[in-house]
Amino acid sequence: MEYKTPFIAKKLGVSPKAVVRIAQQLNLTIEKNKYGHFIFTQDNLDQMLEYHLSQIEQSQNSHPTPKTSSNDVEELKTQVNTIVQNISSHDFEQLSAQLSTITRRLDRMEEQMQDKANDVVTYQLLQHRREMEEMLERIQKLEADLKKEEPLYITPDTKPTYEREKKPKRRKMIFSIFGL
């Protein structure tokens, strides 16, 4: 029976490239079909399975996995606790002093930022106020100019001097074609 690379890869649990690599390591003569795909025989499959299983066994034997017990975990916990307790109170005091200086610096920086923000808002308010005062002066000046001059009203005649010519309505294109 003939097998293709993806089928053997599934059987072995590896990628198709690994199948080709294993076949090259075993010096198997592999035929290709007209599309360039590798075709394996049953003998090739059996040889590759044996080789792959032997490789897996060798890797497991060479790297035994250490088993951790609950006693080991407890020992590690006690070691960590003793290390934490061994940290002197002096180190803790130094760390707390550094932390307090950093917090004070942060507080000062926040105050400075707040002051700058307040200054910006104050400047913007003053700028807007100045602009509003300038606009108010312009409006008052325009009102005074309007009051000085006499109102020039054009009274419309009752009849217009010319009458509009009525343009003939355009008929729709379809009506003009059919003569309607």
Residue 65 in this model has a pLDDT that exceeds 60: no
Query: Which distant-in-sequence residues (6+ apart) come within 8 Å of 6 by Cβ?
Result: 16
Residue 86 in this model has a pLDDT that exceeds 60: yes
The pLDDT value recorded for residue 30 is 84
Taking residues 58-81, what's their average pLDDT?
71
| Residue 87 to residue 91: CA distance in whole angstroms | 7
Q: What pLDDT band is residue 132 in, cutting at 50, 70 and 90?
A: very high
Taking residues 27-55, what's their average pLDDT?
87
Strand order in the sheet with 38-40: 3-4, 38-40, 31-32
The pLDDT value recorded for residue 166 is 67
Mean pLDDT for all residues in the chain: 81
Angle between helices 42-62 and 16-25 (to 10 degrees): 90
The pLDDT value recorded for residue 69 is 65
CB atoms within 10 A of CB 49: 14
The pLDDT value recorded for residue 153 is 61
For the chain, percent of residues with pLDDT exceeding 90: 22
| Residue 26 to residue 24: CA distance in whole angstroms | 5
- Determine the residue type at 79: Q
pTM, two decimals, is 0.35
